Amino acid sequence: MTDFYTLAKSLEAEMIARRRDFHRHPELGFHEVRTAGIVAQELNRLGLEVRTGVGRTGVVGLMEGDQPGPTVLLRFDMDALPITEANTADYISETSGVMHACGHDAHTAVGLAVAKMLMPMRKQMAGTLKFVFQPAEEGLGGAAAMVKDDVMASPAPGRSLALHVWNDKPVGWVAATDGPCMAAADKFTVTLFGKGGHGASPYQTQDPIVAAAQIVSALQTIVSRNVDALENAVLSVTSVKGGEAFNVIPDSVTLMGTVRTFKPEVRARVLRRFDEIVQGIAAAMQCRAEAVWQVTTPAVVNDATMSAAVRQSAQSMPGVTHVSADERTMGSEDMAYMMSTVPGCYFFVGSANAEKGLNFPHHHPRFDIDERALVQAAALMAAAAAKYVLK
């Protein structure tokens, strides 16, 4: 049996150096030109068949075994966030207002290490590994763009794998959940049209601000009164905009927010009640409401057999102290677009270290990871992929 942990450990210094280089030079979604260039260069150097410009700035590398067999897709995201870094490490972002605050620098470094680990095993492989380095995971539709550019074809994968370093948990913790593990995300925009006027004469208006206030409050009852307490749903109004002057009631108010669910039937119930509440209150307040919904991502739903295989590999891996089958988050992930067509497993690798102050949450200006997680992530991904192609 191949010792993937030892192989990954031998690449630890290289992974750390690569991760820190990516961290110094973060790039926003669909602007990952430097990152994609490094990825393509390294995959070419290793001998993979490389395709660039997939989904605008994505990179795909094919590693074909000597024998025919299944194709397994391995996805690693590359993009950074529009956040000003507040860390003091010697590898902090050199790009103003942009930082790797979600660990995608680590994912990219891990992906290159996995390719380097598995390439020498091609003669023992029956099948193909499809390394997918994705742009624009952070809400800009990078996965959908790659799907549109036929990332799920030529060759079509039969299985898929992805991972995320996870600062909610310490190094040594691993989770591969059966079934849903990341929520479907919907974005909503509601515009309330009333009749503006003088703040001293509200009786002459049809006040959209008062209507908006009642709608925001009433929407909170959907989760508490219309969703089974044993199910999961989140509804958050995150933006309220209306009015410019202290003494003027505006003609309109705009609300924005998000809904997160795991199950289609729960989502349908939330959306139905949302529309009833918005339209009903708007009408009662003599306003008119227009609601626009945008599906950001479906839920990430793991294949139970694949998740069990990842957990089995983790349980025998050095340094792993806890393996979970039940880690779910209401955060979203557009890997769902790839996993919606083929079975997959999206697993989490703990990356926090509270003693070293490396436990700030994802998307925080001081986010950073314990880099020991790189070895565990690379070893687990290589082991998970090898189960399907290594004979």
Residues near 285 by beta carbon (within 8 Å), at least 6 away in sequence = 194, 206, 207, 208, 210, 211, 214
Q: What is the pLDDT of residue 391?
A: 84
> Number of H helices and number of E strands within the chain?
10, 16
Closest CA to 178 of 262, 259, 260, 111: 262
184-297 CATH pick, 3.20.20.70, 3.30.390.10, 3.30.70.360, 3.20.20.150? 3.30.70.360
Percent of the chain with pLDDT over 70: 100
- Please write the tens of the pLDDT for every residue from 44-57: 999 999 999 999 99
Superfamily of domain covering 4-180+299-389: Zn peptidases (3.40.630.10)
Order of strands, sheet of 173-175, starting from the edge strand that comes earlier in the sequence: 49-54, 58-64, 126-134, 67-77, 159-170, 344-352, 173-175, 322-324
Residue 203 φ/ψ, nearest 5 degrees: -65, -15
Please give the radius of gyration of the chain, using alpha carbons only, rounded to the nearest integer. 23
**Under 8 Å between Cβ of 193 and 252:** yes
Q: How confident is the model at residue 123 (pLDDT cuts 50, 70, 90)?
A: very high
Query: If 0-12 CB within 10 Å is exposed, 13-18 middle and 19+ buried, where does residue 163 land?
Result: buried
For the chain, the structural domain boundaries read: 4-180+299-389, 184-297
Instruction: Round the average pLDDT of the chain to a whole number and report it.
Output: 98
- Average of per-residue pLDDT across 203-213: 98
- Please write the tens of the pLDDT for every residue from 60-91: 999 999 999 999 999 999 999 999 999 999 99
Q: How confident is the model at residue 155 (pLDDT cuts 50, 70, 90)?
A: very high
- Please write the tens of the pLDDT for every residue from 247-266: 999 999 999 999 999 999 99
Q: What is the pLDDT of residue 1?
A: 59
Number of C-beta neighbours around residue 90 at 10 A: 7
* Integer CA distances (angstroms), 125 to 95, 320, 381, 389, in order: 41, 27, 16, 5
The torsion angle over the Cα atoms of residues 32, 35, 38 and 42, rounded to 10 degrees, is: -100
Q: What is the pLDDT of residue 170?
A: 98
Beta strands in 121-196 (DSSP E): 126-134, 159-170, 173-175, 179-182, 184-193
- Please write the tens of the pLDDT for every residue from 369-383: 999 999 999 999 999
- Average of per-residue pLDDT across 37-42: 99
Active site positions, annotated: 79, 137
Per-residue DSSP letter, 361: P
- Please write the tens of the pLDDT for every residue from 353-368: 999 999 999 999 999 9
Q: How confident is the model at residue 2 (pLDDT cuts 50, 70, 90)?
A: confident
- Please write the tens of the pLDDT for every residue from 267-305: 999 999 999 999 999 999 999 999 999 988 999 999 999
- Please write the tens of the pLDDT for every residue from 158-182: 999 999 999 999 999 999 999 999 9
The torsion angle over the Cα atoms of residues 47, 161, 13 and 366, rounded to 10 degrees, is: 130
